[in-house]
Amino acid sequence: MLRINCPFCGIRDEEEFDCGGEAHVTRPENPANLSDDEWSHYLFNKVNTKGILLERWRHTYGCRQWFNMARHTVSHEIIEIYPMGSFPSFNGMNVENVVKEVEA
Amino acid sequence: MNLSKQINPLDRVTNAHRVNPAKPISFKFDGKTYVGCEGDTLASALLANDVTVVGRSFKLHRPRGLMSAGIEESNALIQLESGSGYDEPNARATLIPLYEGLNAKGQNSWPNVNRDVFSVLSLFHRMFPASFYYKSMMWPSWHFYEGLVRKMAGLGKLPELPDKQHYEKQNIHCDVLICGGGASGLAATLALAHTDKKVLLVDAQEEFGGSLLGENRSIGSQSGLEWVENTLSQLQAAPNVTMLSRTMISGYYDQNFLVGSQRVTNHLGRSNENKKIRERLLRIRAEHVVLATGAIERPLVFPNNDRPGIMLASGVQCYLNRYGVKAGQRAVVVCNNDNAYRVAFDMANAGVDVAALIDTRASVNGPFQSKIKEMGIPLYAGTMIRKVHGRRKVKAVSIAAHNGDGHLGKTIKTIECDLVAMSAGWTPTIHLYSQAGGQLSFNDELKCFVPNRCDQNISVIGAANGRFHLEECLTDGLHVVPKTLGTTVNPELNISACDEFAEEPSEAYWYTKNENSEKQWLDFQYDVKVSDIELANRENFLSIEHVKRFTTNGMSVDQGKTSNVNALAVMAELCGKKIEQVGTTKFRPPYHPVTIGAFAGRDIRENYSPRLEMPAHQWHVANGAHMEDMGGWQRPEYYLQSGEAEEDAIRREVLAVRHSVGMFDGSPLGKIEVKGPDAAAFLNRIYVNNVESLKTGFARYGLMCNENGVVMDDGVFVRLSDDHFLLHTTSSGASRISLWMEEWLQCEWPNLQVVICNATTQWANVTVSGPKARDVVALLASDIDFSRESFPHMQVRIGTVNGVDARVLRASFTGEISYEISVPARYGQGLWEAIYKAGEAYGITPYGIESLLVLRTEKGYLHIGVDTDGTTNPLDLGWGRAIAKKEVDFIGRRSLSRPNDTRDDRFQFVGIEVVNPSDSLPVGGHFVNSANPIIPVKTMGYVTSSYYSPNLDKCIGLGLVEGASARAGEETFVYSNGKTIAVKLVQPSHFDSKGERLNG
């Protein structure tokens, strides 16, 4: 069970949180203009990295606030927790590429 | 030679370490009374009473004796305290401390383990190879065999009485958790005593000491036992150390979170009738974990190696030294390593006739061999057991030359014996390490898997790390652990010289290659033999995970503690790979079974989940409500009057609403307030409907989809003011939907100025419904004009009712004139009583959920999650035209234009009537095209709701049916449980389909 440092409440056990899947998956501005393939890419295709993955989590049984988390999917190490609407700041990862990959 | 003896179970070897024969304890096994003594386990007491058959194997019902003295025991599974409320199935006799009056039964046998009629199965063992059931139990069908198989399957029996014992849970935080209180674990704790680390030492046994309790070792000038006692007294004085024996760590999860169970009063058995906690589930978070979990000995694999009297050498040694019980009078030791020689020494010193030491290695000549010869024990180097004589107990073994690599020559000698102590070497207990995500590597020299790399904060010491020698264990604990943790090494804690001698290298002996593989056991509990692995290999199972599941090796109650590595090795030999190429199966929690009660703790019965009561709960209960748990809420299903049956009550309530007036407690109805300058724009994206066009004071029925276009929830939403909306959701959807809307706001549209509040429990709601509803509400003290003209359907008014602030909504789920009156929750019962009083003149009838469901089905109103499933989209509900009118995007809209979402043959929402009024319509029945369908048949949809309608005097229903929108009026068939009935597809609304009654 992970220990997660909620930016608003502090360190809590994972059982207070819910994982909302990958972060930085932006909803397309005009879905009607997308082809079926583009829309299904948004709906279903995720990066699902074996390695560092950017996710969004909610402190459901606490402040109910969402935040982003960079987590290693093998070691389960939490590398960084950062606010919604921002990007992680740790070194060693080209975040823009990750985001592009999600949007591609 | 006659090896029978006069049994005195209290006649123990002198200087037995941990038993007191002066304190006898009587107990029962399979109905017979025996006597053991203080310090015994059930297993040692049975052995002292010369009970040789203690269990039966799972598949072939072979007679089985004790195999070990510890947690790895795979034969002596017993049912403890059967039928008393203190039952425990599949308990290992080796782990149960004896207590007065203990009552145990053998398992998987009838009438008892000694005389088991099912043992006839072993004559037909060739019919039961690995996974035989997948191949043979197909004709005519599995169900033909199911009854018999279910009766035969399983080992222990589920207790039938409620558990009379009590459990609890505890959270523990510590700096260092040390798992295992043997030599290395005790040494590590000693090294950390009096430091600033908060240390928790746990051990699964009844007392600390690990294997030292069963051996005769020396540590410096002390015996192993003295060292344990001295160490424990030092640890007891250390304020930073907590020690828990009888505590099994069963699971190792992320970020050093571990779960263990502490057996608080199990050792008291049924005498624990003063409600003391029996077991405690420990949830431990540790900064650092030290695994000192030791090692488990492997059995040698040779024909009939499962006969009673053939035991692990370490088990024989433990029974002898710890409990003072000789497992036999005339023993042979068979091994491929030097460590097992110590067992021969101990037996010979205790007066057991050691008839032979059979060593698979041909050229061995070290200190152990010299000592064996010195003691006059015949050493047969380069030999192996080829044949075991005796069925219910070993009588003799025939040995043959070992020509290398598991190939034996002809029998050279037969040696009479009643005990075989075997050892194929040791397997480090790395289950927890593997659970922690640790990778293993194979150590060729030690012939076992050892820890390699793990991302968690963990260290593995002593035998668990392949460091089997006592001095290595002490070094790991006293020196390596403090260095790893960055504490200073205490210079007073020297490593004393132990009784170690140079060892000859052990030899791989995985199985006997030129003997019958159908008789060489790997997994004793599940009867997996070398032949089963051969079969898996022939059938081309390559992954060891598949081999495990095909053969069931390691899937029994002991989870392969003794069989795993042997099976891997056999697989490796058969496919010509190295063991590390075959790999290991992943170990998963639990390491050892945990009582379900411990997981439940105190969260049982009324404490299982929070119970939500409506404000007028007391009134409902006092007035005959039949309460049911619905989404956590206690809600009336119907109100029983004297002499009424359930159907009568529902019929009475339904007719009252249609013909006069009823009242319903709608308090759990979801109420979400949405407020802010962008509220309308936000909800326009959330709802399928157009929200922005809704005028203040008006209400609209709306649908919500997820991004995949699937309908998630529905309900009436209300515009209270320009920037303030009230959303009604389904009762079970309130919390889910408010969280979901919050997610969109926080994650996707943080720029929108909107706040959301789930106010469901803040408001009580009483719904007055029926042709006379208006007359009733007009009698209430209120500043709201309830007249037909000024307060039409689908509008809302804010004012006071019965002297308190109220919101009144005209929306209807019954199809009759309805007023949904909401007041702050604390006035709920007062409002309920006021309305009941006002309605008395009209015979106002409280109605429950069941009656409401009949009424809404008559009207064809949708019940989300009942009439829809995880594929239903708004188009399937006939919302195509309404959506086309909306100009802007909403969540899920794009998905509705995918080809699959617009197919004509989708399951669409429809009303159903039975053709023959005497038929009833089965919910879950499937639509088929023929009155006599040939099963299996493709489903054309299914019935989602069905009720007898008192107003229409027949069974009506709703359903999802293929292409239903174009099939109105069509007759078709519903199939259920072998019966087909004729039905007609109609529009969903069965009653007042124009909705005239709503306006009255």
* Three-class HEC string of B171-194: EEEEEEEEECCCHHHHHHHHHHCC
Provide the pLDDT for residue B5: 54
Of chain B residues 214-273, which have a CB less than 8 A from chain A?
253-255, 257
Task: Give pLDDT tens digits for B458-486.
Answer: 999 999 999 999 999 999 999 999 999 99
Q: Which residues pair with B297 in a beta bridge?
A: B426
Measured between beta carbons, which residues in chain A are less than 8 angstroms from residue B739?
A: 58, 60, 64
In the 8-state DSSP scheme, what is residue B656? Answer: H
pLDDT exceeds 80 at position B84:
yes
Which helix (H) or strand (E) segment is B331 a member of? strand B330-335
* Dihedral sign (CA A9, A12, A16, A18): positive
Q: Would you call A86 an interface residue with chain B, using a CB distance cutoff of 8 Å?
A: no
Facing B707 at nearest CB: one of A43, A56, A75: A43
Q: Would you call B603 an interface residue with chain A, using a CB distance cutoff of 8 Å?
A: no
Measured between beta carbons, which residues in chain A are less than 8 angstroms from residue B438?
A: none
| Same-domain pairing of B562 and B671 | no
Test A64 with B437 for CB contact under 8 angstroms. no
Amino acid present at B76: A
Q: Would you call A12 an interface residue with chain B, using a CB distance cutoff of 8 Å?
A: no
Alpha-carbon separation of residue B558 from B54, B77, B206, B553, B555 (angstroms): 16, 10, 19, 10, 8
Residue A104, domain member (yes or no): yes
Sheet strands side by side (includes A66-72): A18-22, A52-58, A66-72, A78-82
Residues ≥6 apart with Cβ < 8 Å to B696: B719, B720, B721, B722
Residue B124, domain member (yes or no): no
In CATH, what number is assigned to the domain containing residue B816? 3.30.1360.120
| Same-domain pairing of B733 and B876 | yes
Nearest-Cα distance to chain B for A36, in Å, is 7
Which helix (H) or strand (E) segment is B431 a member of? helix B431-435
Test A84 with B747 for CB contact under 8 angstroms. yes
Bridge-based pairing state of the strands B199-202 and B166-179: parallel
Task: Give pLDDT tens digits for B658-671.
Answer: 999 999 999 999 99
Which three-class secondary structure state does DSSP give residue B529? strand
Residue A103, domain member (yes or no): yes
Of chain B, the percentage scoring pLDDT greater than 90 comes to: 86
Amino acid present at B699: A
Amino acid present at B678: D
Q: What is the rounded average pLDDT of the residues B193-198?
A: 96
* Dihedral sign (CA B129, B130, B135, B140): positive
In the 8-state DSSP scheme, what is residue B544? Answer: H
User: C-alpha angle B68/B502/B18, rounded to 5°?
Assistant: 35
Nearest-Cα distance to chain A for B898, in Å, is 7
CA distance B995 to B342: 92
Placement of tokens 């009156």 in the chain: B821
Provide the pLDDT for residue B642: 92
Task: Give pLDDT tens digits for B751-761.
Answer: 999 999 999 99
Measured between beta carbons, which residues in chain A are less than 8 angstroms from residue B253?
A: 1
User: Domain range holding A80?
Assistant: 18-25+44-104
Residues ≥6 apart with Cβ < 8 Å to B710: B870, B871, B872, B873, B892
Residue B52, domain member (yes or no): yes
Q: What is the rounded average pLDDT of the residues B411-424?
A: 98
Placement of tokens 């640890």 in the chain: B235
Structural tokens at position B225: 């036992």
Which three-class secondary structure state does DSSP give residue B605? helix
Residue B498, domain member (yes or no): no
Burial B213-241 (b: 16+ CB within 10 A, else e): bbbbbbbeeebbbebbeebbeebeebebb
Residue A4, domain member (yes or no): no
Residue B285: count of CB within 10 angstroms of its CB: 17
Choose between B392 and B113: higher pLDDT.
B392
Beta strand residue intervals within B554-632, DSSP E: 612-613, 625-630
Which helix (H) or strand (E) segment is B106 a member of? strand B102-106
Residue B956, domain member (yes or no): yes
Which helix (H) or strand (E) segment is B536 a member of? helix B530-538
| C-alpha closest to that of B300 among B233, B358, B216 | B358
Beta strand residue intervals within B623-759, DSSP E: 625-630, 633-639, 662-665, 670-675, 699-705, 711-721, 724-729, 755-758
Compute, in degrees rounded to 10, the torsion defined by CA atoms B769, B773, B774, B780: -110
pLDDT exceeds 60 at position B900:
yes
Residue A68, domain member (yes or no): yes
Provide the pLDDT for residue B3: 46
Task: Give pLDDT tens digits for B340-364.
Answer: 999 999 999 999 999 999 999 999 9
Which three-class secondary structure state does DSSP give residue B716? strand
Residue A93, domain member (yes or no): yes
Give the nearest chain A residue to B756 (CA atoms): A64
Test B455 with A31 for CB contact under 8 angstroms. no
Alpha-carbon separation of residue B120 from B116, B128, B579, B788 (angstroms): 8, 13, 36, 84
Test A84 with B746 for CB contact under 8 angstroms. yes
Test B747 with A20 for CB contact under 8 angstroms. yes
Q: What is the rounded average pLDDT of the residues B56-81?
A: 93
Q: Which residues pair with B252 in a beta bridge?
A: B258
In CATH, what number is assigned to the domain containing residue A71? 3.30.2270.10
CA distance B304 to B306: 5
CA distance B872 to B880: 13
Environment class of residue B953 by beta-carbon count within 10 Å: exposed (0-12), middle (13-18) or buried (19+)?
exposed
Residue A26: count of CB within 10 angstroms of its CB: 12
Nearest-Cα distance to chain A for B284, in Å, is 11
Provide the pLDDT for residue B2: 45
Taking every pair of Cα atoms in chain B, the longest distance, rounded to a whole number of angstroms, is: 115
Which three-class secondary structure state does DSSP give residue B741? helix
Q: Would you call A43 an interface residue with chain B, using a CB distance cutoff of 8 Å?
A: yes
Placement of tokens 């809209």 in the chain: B893
| Same-domain pairing of B195 and B283 | yes
Among B119, B142, B176, residue at a domain's last position: B119
Facing B898 at nearest CB: one of A1, A36, A64: A36
Cα-trace Rg, chain B? 37
Facing B747 at nearest CB: one of A60, A66, A75: A66
Choose between B451 and B111: higher pLDDT.
B451
| Same-domain pairing of B407 and B439 | no
Bridge-based pairing state of the strands B102-106 and B20-29: parallel
Alpha-carbon separation of residue B613 from B319, B465, B609, B630, B827 (angstroms): 59, 56, 13, 11, 14
Task: Give pLDDT tens digits for B679-705.
Answer: 999 999 999 999 999 999 999 999 999
Give the nearest chain B residue to A14 (CA atoms): B254
Chain centroid offset of residue B421 CA: 37
Residue A72, domain member (yes or no): yes
Test B455 with A43 for CB contact under 8 angstroms. no
pLDDT exceeds 90 at position B134:
no
Residues ≥6 apart with Cβ < 8 Å to B171: B283, B284, B285
Provide the pLDDT for residue B556: 85
Test B739 with A2 for CB contact under 8 angstroms. no
Test A2 with B254 for CB contact under 8 angstroms. yes
pLDDT exceeds 80 at position B995:
yes
Facing B894 at nearest CB: one of A1, A14, A39: A39
Q: Which residues pair with B671 in a beta bridge?
A: B728
Amino acid present at B410: K
Task: Give pLDDT tens digits for B253-281.
Answer: 999 999 999 999 999 888 766 678 999 99
pLDDT exceeds 90 at position B905:
yes
CA distance B301 to B511: 5
Among B403, B423, B443, residue at a domain's last position: B423
| Same-domain pairing of B179 and B78 | no
Q: How confident is the model at residue A94 (pLDDT cuts 50, 70, 90)?
A: low
Structural tokens at position B610: 């929070």
Facing B748 at nearest CB: one of A27, A60, A76: A27
Residue B155, domain member (yes or no): no
Provide the pLDDT for residue B454: 94
In CATH, what number is assigned to the domain containing residue B357? 3.50.50.60
Count how many domains chain A has: 1
| Same-domain pairing of B825 and B875 | yes
> Which bin fits B85, alpha (ψ -120 to 50), beta or left (φ > 0)?
left
Measured between beta carbons, which residues in chain B are less than 8 angstroms from residue A65?
A: 746
Cβ pair B325, B350 in contact under 8 A: no
| Same-domain pairing of B416 and B440 | no
pLDDT exceeds 50 at position B153:
yes
| Same-domain pairing of B796 and B822 | yes
Residue A61, domain member (yes or no): yes
Residue A5, domain member (yes or no): no
Count how many domains chain B has: 6
Q: How confident is the model at residue B331 (pLDDT cuts 50, 70, 90)?
A: very high
In the 8-state DSSP scheme, what is residue B851? Answer: H
| Same-domain pairing of B477 and B529 | no
Nearest-Cα distance to chain B for A39, in Å, is 8
Q: How confident is the model at residue B248 (pLDDT cuts 50, 70, 90)?
A: very high
| Same-domain pairing of B290 and B351 | no
Residue B147, domain member (yes or no): no
pLDDT exceeds 90 at position B585:
no
Nearest-Cα distance to chain B for A96, in Å, is 18
Q: What is the rounded average pLDDT of the residues A45-55?
A: 92
Provide the pLDDT for residue A100: 52
Task: Give pLDDT tens digits for B827-880.
Answer: 999 999 999 999 999 999 999 999 999 999 999 999 999 999 999 999 999 999
Measured between beta carbons, which residues in chain B are less than 8 angstroms from residue A43?
A: 707-708, 895
CA distance B693 to B715: 17
Q: How confident is the model at residue B655 (pLDDT cuts 50, 70, 90)?
A: very high
Residue B763, domain member (yes or no): yes
Of chain B, the percentage scoring pLDDT greater than 70 comes to: 99
Measured between beta carbons, which residues in chain B are less than 8 angstroms from residue A1?
A: 253-255, 257
Facing B257 at nearest CB: one of A1, A43, A56: A1
Among B468, B485, B502, residue at a domain's last position: B485
Cα-trace Rg, chain A? 15
| Same-domain pairing of B291 and B343 | no
Task: Give pLDDT tens digits for B699-741.
Answer: 999 999 999 999 999 999 999 999 999 999 999 899 999 999 9
Enter the ipTM: 0.93
Average pLDDT, chain B: 94
Provide the pLDDT for residue B631: 85
User: Domain range holding B409?
Assistant: 302-423
Residue B6, domain member (yes or no): no
| Same-domain pairing of B545 and B690 | no
CA distance B640 to B653: 10
